[in-house]
Structure 1
Amino acid sequence: MNQITSETIKTADTWVEFSNQKNLERLSAVTAEKLALEGPKGTGVINHQELGEWMKRANLKLTTIKRYARGQFIVLEQTGTWLNDDDSVKGTGIVFTVFKIADGKVTFLARYDHDKDKAFEVSGLSDEDRIKSEPL
């Protein structure tokens, strides 16, 4: 595995950790000023303030199951747990999260519910890019 792929994995794992902690300050430090988003509710570009609002609305905790990475792209197969305001579970499901990392920051983030093929199409990755080690 080359250095770029290693850094991509580290940054994506860090981003998920800070997102799960709802730590906007630390999350912003590993997120580009303009983050391109794609997901079930559409596409767009958001800034750090809007990232915080998005995190609150989603109220989502992600647990990584598998990682696929090469270069600046990574796809994380994850269990998503959506929470109510009182932290009770609203729902769960398998999601595929695509990250593009540049200069140690997440510049693109996409979530596809139950759709690994779409995640691979967007990222240019495949099953051959699976990282054999367990998530850190």
Structure 2
Amino acid sequence: MGITDLLTDIWDTFSHPSPDAEAPPKPASGSDEESGDEANVNKADAKNSGDGEQGHEPSNEEEEEEEETVDPKDTLEDECKESKQCAPMKHHYDECVERVTGQIENDGKASEDCVEEFFHLAHCATQCAAPKLFAQLK
């Protein structure tokens, strides 16, 4: 067995199966026709469905209780990004965004990105918000 045979076997083992699917198995009953009992039940259901009470309709109380909650972490981090503590990082990030935006407008592409500045700002905001967040959760 050569190296090519080994690589071929490995490729065959981990390759994806072909997109051709097998036919789904047929139902166990062997017939798609409804029996007499099923037909009677279906007719009775059709008559009763005229009442308009099909399915579950939630009450007004349930709708009022489902208010969307706001994550306090996001709120605290937004406040911290604007705080005096994170002002230097925000300043560097804003300058970078202006540089990159100018490069894109002039050249159609940018020679840099602001990922590093963004992460510094995000780290500062997280460090600032953490004590406030845990104080709220206690």
TM-score over 0.5 (shorter chain): no
Query: Greater share of helix residues, 1 or 2?
Result: 2
TM range (shorter): under 0.3
By relative contact order (CA 8 Å, sep 6+), the higher-ranking structure is 1
Query: Greater share of strand residues, 1 or 2?
Result: 1
**Superposition TM-score, scaled by structure 1 size:** 0.22
